[in-house]
Structure 1
């Protein structure tokens, strides 16, 4: 005799008592078999009557007794975006939870997948994602949920979730940074006396991270932890997935580091141009300074304006800007020294002027002495003891001080400035680069 097929039509608005009985009948029709063609009980499942006796979806398994153990595993399908501005990441995961409910034990060695809408008739854990900003369950074409029953009472409950989770980032080494983000799962209402969370297979409970291909990051490593969260309302179990993201620096080298280095080298071209070529050297200096300023502004567009971090890329751009500005300043000093050497007053002229002041002071002194009928011989005058007028003396002292200071800083040969700059600027830039890359890559 051919087997009988049963077609079930689900209606909305079932009462809870009727729903449990209907679930029982559904499983009986699905799992039952015809033992005898002449038997009046053609569909039966020995032991399945446990579903109808005392099952309450509002009470956890082992209610009033030992805590129920929830074993979790997850697959990371994708990490669609990692935002430094908002300090978060968006991921799509497949979350699977397993627990044993003795009220759902039935005879046999099979497992049966039920319609996802029957989840409303069973007790399920109240797991939530800690530090989640936005989350939703996928519902195309129906809700992406799975419920599967095993003969020993084990329940498998799987969900497809997209969530945006906060991730505190340290951007001080950006773009050579490595970020450690977390995905934390915790029970919302049941504390450690009611629920115990565990990873299903330890680190092997997480899959998909090793296969991810992200635009700016590479997943270096990941590991799982089991801990507890102490709250005011109790001590709650928590599972943590740590994963380390290392930023790919190649893009930033081609986009920022190489152009800024070439601008610094371009600013050194002015050292090979003569001091008299004012338009040429000024044009190179101003152009490189403006180009460097534009590059610095463009590098900050992808980061928050209120970010308080001094990033590694900011340090490098600041170094490059300093060298470019230094090259422009070097020409200003060399050109000023050259113009002062050709147009400034000579030292001999100033010495003659000072001598005239001394002679006038000596003449005035002799006249005063002659009025007092004192015989003074000009050959016996000690010039060091003569008293000058107050303003002349001050002028004399200030001129001596200014001469000594100017002579100390005066560049005797302005052309040597360019000669030394050709060697010192590249040397110092190479040394700074060695210290920069060594610090940010290895410390």
Structure 2
């Protein structure tokens, strides 16, 4: 029994060696085989030309949070085949459906049956930016195929309606004067340019916009063509529909710019309130600051969270700094007023002491007469200032307020001019 098992093992080993020897191919023969393959590739026929045309029906609003938009379009693709393939298409259709009812007067035939279309060759079109396809709102989502008779064969036209969510890479650095460059790229899903070549038909793009909800943008459509390597390392022709969304800046002006200017202006009027009216002046400085913060939060809530600063951030931060400066000036005025009061109290005490000493040492007719106040009108500030001989009744806090009455609007006007020149030219953060 043991000898029989050993004999079976030996026979199996010899059989495996014999099969390996048969499957072995010398390296020289492999090189010849590769050369033959190269020669066969050089004899490949010209690729099939696929003409593409797109008709855009509707375009939904550009979603900033999801970075996408919904696009409803018709995709028309046509190519030419010889008479043999043309008759095969027709015979297959008639064998399954019977005599077609969709035969036009010129002899063209339309195929709408899904079971027939599944057995025919159709271009597998790959759309790069499409995130998901939605219901096309038609009875036949697979499209339909029309065969047109010609002298040297026939022309086949495949029509589909596509309703898809298209992703878009957005950049908000220049918001609110930003431009979003979105695209929809078509190419062959499987075949390279050596077999199937995508080209634009004439016309390449048609617009039949029945429903366009783009209140904040102006849209421009262009088409492009370029050739590059695909994911499988093969060259493909990429057909691109470029959708350029230019934002209308008027919405941001009404929503943020005008309210923020009014809020900053209300804070500016706090310089016309005396420091002695502390509670009223505090309301004119602190309340606009919190109103700007609320307004800023509302504007930022309309944009997706990003890690960079955009143009709207610079505007809101600039207005916050101007408003916060009024709070700082109010604090400085209060501090200067307190120091001035302390100085006046100390000077009054020293004057009282000196007067008592003089009254004891000098006769009554040597007493100084009280100083009289002379009213003068300062045209620059439009209010009455009293002077006592060479001394001004203005306190240091009043001088600081008067300075800010002139300096604050000049600085805010300069900030507006520089900001809007850079924003409108899109050079603020470029």
- Choose the corresponding residue for 1:101, options 70, 76, 81: 81
Aligned pairs (5 A) from 1:410-421: 413-421=396-404
Tell me the equivalent position of 1:282.
282
Query: How far did residue 336 of structure 1 move?
Result: 0.9
Tell me the equivalent position of 1:112.
109
Tell me the equivalent position of 2:408.
425
TM-score, structure 1 as length reference: 0.67
Inter-partner Cα distance in structure 2 for 1:228 and 1:93: 25
Inter-partner Cα distance in structure 2 for 1:194 and 1:120: 21
Determine if contact 2:187/2:239 at 8 Å carries over to the other structure. Answer: yes
Determine if contact 1:116/1:145 at 8 Å carries over to the other structure. Answer: no
Aligned pairs (5 A) from 1:76-95: 76-95=56-75
Change (3 A) 1:221 1:187: closer
Tell me the equivalent position of 2:138.
140
Tell me the equivalent position of 1:298.
298
Query: How far did residue 237 of structure 1 move?
Result: 2.1
Inter-partner Cα distance in structure 2 for 1:412 and 1:268: 20
Determine if contact 1:125/1:187 at 8 Å carries over to the other structure. Answer: yes
Query: How far did residue 331 of structure 1 move?
Result: 1.0
Tell me the equivalent position of 1:169.
170
Q: Which runs of 5+ in 2 are unaligned?
A: 1-42, 91-104, 349-393
Query: Structure 1 stretch 192-201 or stretch 126-135: which is displaced more?
Result: 126-135
Residues 378-428 of structure 1 deviation map (CA, whole Å, 9 limit, x = unaligned): xxxxxxxxxxxxxxxxxxxxxxxxxxxxxxxxx962201111111111111
- Number of residue equivalences: 317
Normalized per residue, the structure richer in strand is 2
Determine if contact 2:220/2:243 at 8 Å carries over to the other structure. Answer: yes
Change (3 A) 1:156 1:245: same
Aligned pairs (5 A) from 1:32-431: 65-102=45-82, 103-105=84-86, 109-117=106-114, 118-136=116-134, 138=136, 140-143=138-141, 145-152=143-150, 153-201=154-202, 204-208=203-207, 212=212, 214-305=214-305, 307-344=306-343, 413-431=396-414
Inter-partner Cα distance in structure 2 for 1:310 and 1:116: 55
Inter-partner Cα distance in structure 1 for 2:117 and 2:137: 15
Query: How far did residue 346 of structure 1 move?
Result: 8.8
Query: How far did residue 116 of structure 1 move?
Result: 4.3
Change (3 A) 1:116 1:219: farther
Inter-partner Cα distance in structure 1 for 2:295 and 2:331: 24
Residues 274-309 of structure 1 deviation map (CA, whole Å, 9 limit, x = unaligned): 11110000011111111011011111112223x113
Determine if contact 2:58/2:209 at 8 Å carries over to the other structure. Answer: no
Query: How far did residue 67 of structure 1 move?
Result: 1.2
Which has the higher relative contact order, 1 or 2, with Cα contacts under 8 A spaced 6 or more apart? 2
Inter-partner Cα distance in structure 1 for 2:158 and 2:64: 34
Query: How far did residue 213 of structure 1 move?
Result: 5.2
Inter-partner Cα distance in structure 1 for 2:209 and 2:163: 19
Structure 1 vs Structure 2 CA RMSD:
2.6
Inter-partner Cα distance in structure 1 for 2:129 and 2:261: 41
Inter-partner Cα distance in structure 2 for 1:417 and 1:320: 21
Q: Which runs of 5+ in 1 are unaligned?
A: 1-62, 350-410
Change (3 A) 1:337 1:228: same
Query: How far did residue 115 of structure 1 move?
Result: 2.0
Residues 189-211 of structure 1 deviation map (CA, whole Å, 9 limit, x = unaligned): 1011111100002xx31121788
Inter-partner Cα distance in structure 1 for 2:236 and 2:279: 73
1:427 aligns to what SS in structure 2?
helix
2:118 aligns to what SS in structure 1?
helix
Tell me the equivalent position of 1:48.
none
Residues 128-181 of structure 1 deviation map (CA, whole Å, 9 limit, x = unaligned): 101321124525333361211100321111111122222221110111101111
Inter-partner Cα distance in structure 2 for 1:88 and 1:309: 20
1:123 aligns to what SS in structure 2?
coil
